[in-house]
Amino acid sequence: MWSRRLDALKPALEALDQWRAAWPDDAADPLMQVDEDRLGQVLAELARRLQGNYPFHSPLYAGQMLKPPHPVAWMAHVLASTINPNNHALDGGPPTSEMEKEVVADLARLFGFRTHLGHLTSGGTAANLEALWVARETHPGKAIAFSDQAHYTHARMCAVLGVESVVIPTTADGSWDMSVLKASAHRIGTVVVTLGTTGMGRVEALHELLPFCRQAGLRVHVDAAYGGFYKLLEASGALDAAPWALTGAVDSLVVDPHKHGLQPYGCGCVLFRDPAVGRHYKHDSPYTYFTSDELHLGEISLECSRAGASAAALWATWRLLGGGTDSGLARMLAACRRAALAFAAALEDSGTYAVVDAPDLDIVVYHPRPTGARRLSDLSAASKAVFRKGMQAGPDQLFLSLYQLPASRFAGYGLEADADTVTVLRSVLMKPGHEGYATELAARLVRLLSHVERDALGQG
Ligand SMILES: Cc1ncc(COP(=O)(O)O)c(C=O)c1O
């Protein structure tokens, strides 16, 4: 229980209270005082309002990329937040800036970067924006290419940066249409490869794309916002190691600790292999950078204020659970991967659902088998009905997400192609507890579909 964790946090809060006691404390100012009863009421009201959330902590939440942080992360975050350091400059947070540099160096090592420049960001969007901005600065006038499976942020950020984007179509198995990449290579400066796509968790073939890009003189950026921490399983045999083996050779890489790194939101990371790209960030600040001649993180970041608490949380988590191939984090990821395989197998065994493709990581995309369907839209309707039925209170309650695939993926189904896309079900199994629930989730899905069919008969 989370409330029990306060016992572990208390001594650390007391240690900070002692440190604070050496100075007059603004918290003691009468204007900062509040009525304790009123405080209790507001917090109780907040706790009540927060219960309107879906149960992201539960294995029965098998929907979007959402889960609570590890307790060590929120405890470290809370502890640092009582000070509220700002990692923009060493003037604003010397210890948490140091922690950020340490943990960013750990991440650079994890991905195999021999040299690096990098920092934490508010999330994957800001981190990718920086990587694409550096791509524009190093390859002015050139386009940025990414596959049709890349996160929508890449097209959006290219528009923000005024850079042309080239979308490379993928085949049903997720491979890039290399003829399009080759034909456009003369106008492209940078290629974005996604290790862990948002929709299906696909790991794109970096081992095939990187040699081509090097030969064509193209810069390579890896968006591993979702999948990045699976690098920890590279040598485990649980994944195809080939794409992961090359992460150390790319020009830049994004990973989101607030996805699979057990962090609260507000923690992304961008890494560059060549520290010299720091020249693009070069600027001066009339307000900051005065307390030290060491690197101030604001000098290599587009965002100005950034929470030192995020760095503290990631640093503490990494010390406790990160790092090696047998670390707590690696074992959690291995459990998520096993959960996805077991869930996909249980769905197929049920005879009621079809899995769209074997999962590369821990995201499973599936739909009710099209028995009785005549049109593609019937398939979408069945997935949406199961999704909605799952959210209703009851013994089979289950929280899922939906995903749209191009109709061409269903060409062999013999259904009337009455829509351009088909809506299917999607489950992100990003909690280790999903492993023990894999068969239960599939069993609930089978029952949910029979409830949906029964409801339809009742209405018919
Ligand atoms: C592959 C990928 N890139 C980028 C993003 C955007 O990251 P954020 O939501 O942290 O801004 C996501 C988010 O799901 C993602 O999956």
pLDDT score for 458: 80
pLDDT score for 460: 59
65 C-beta closer than 6 A to ligand 1: yes
**Residue 329 · residue 119 · CB < 8 Å:** no
pLDDT score for 296: 85
Cα 423 to chain centroid, rounded = 22
Compute the distance between CA of residue 417 and CA of residue 442 in angstroms, rounded to an integer.
28
DSSP 169: P
- Residue ranges in 231-375 assigned as alpha helix (H): 241-244, 278-281, 308-321, 328-350
204 C-beta closer than 6 A to ligand 1: no
pLDDT score for 440: 98
Token pair of 224, please?
């591993």
Please give the distance, rounded to the nearest whole angstrom, from the Cα atom of residue 273 to the centre of ligand 1. 21
256 C-beta closer than 6 A to ligand 1: yes
- Please enumerate in sequence order all residues whose Cβ is within 8 A of that of 269, keeping only pairs 6 or more positions apart, or say none: 104, 107, 118, 119, 120, 121, 127, 254, 255, 256, 257
202 C-beta closer than 6 A to ligand 1: no
**E strands along 132-178, which residues?**
143-147, 165-168
268 C-beta closer than 6 A to ligand 1: yes
First to last CA, the chain: 47
**Residue 160 · residue 136 · CB < 8 Å:** no
Ligand 1 pocket test, candidate residues 65, 120, 146, 151, most atoms within 8 A of CB: 151
Ligand 1 pocket test, candidate residues 197, 226, 361, most atoms within 8 A of CB: 226
pTM flag (> 0.85): yes
**DSSP helix/strand/coil, 179:** helix
Strand bridging mode 219-224 / 188-194: parallel
The CA-CA-CA angle for residues 344, 347, 351, to 5°, reads: 140
364 C-beta closer than 6 A to ligand 1: no
Atom of ligand 1 at shortest range from CA of 128? 4
Please give the distance, rounded to the nearest whole angstrom, from the Cα atom of residue 226 to the centre of ligand 1. 7
Average pLDDT per consecutive 10 residues, the chain (460 residues; last block may be shorter): 86 96 93 96 98 98 98 97 95 96 98 97 98 98 98 98 98 92 97 98 98 98 98 96 98 98 98 95 83 86 96 98 92 98 98 96 96 93 98 97 95 94 98 98 98 85
Atom of ligand 1 at shortest range from CA of 227? 1
**DSSP helix/strand/coil, 289:** coil
Nearest 5°: phi and psi at 375? -125, 160
> What does CATH list as the number for 329-459?
3.90.1150.170
H/E run at residue 302: none
Token pair of 1, please?
């229980």
In terms of Cα–Cα distance, which of 86, 131, 93 is closest to 255? 131
Compute the distance between CA of residue 91 and CA of residue 114 in angstroms, rounded to an integer.
29
124 C-beta closer than 6 A to ligand 1: yes
List the chain domain ranges. 79-325, 329-459
Q: Was domain 79-325 assigned CATH 3.40.50.720?
A: no
pLDDT score for 291: 84
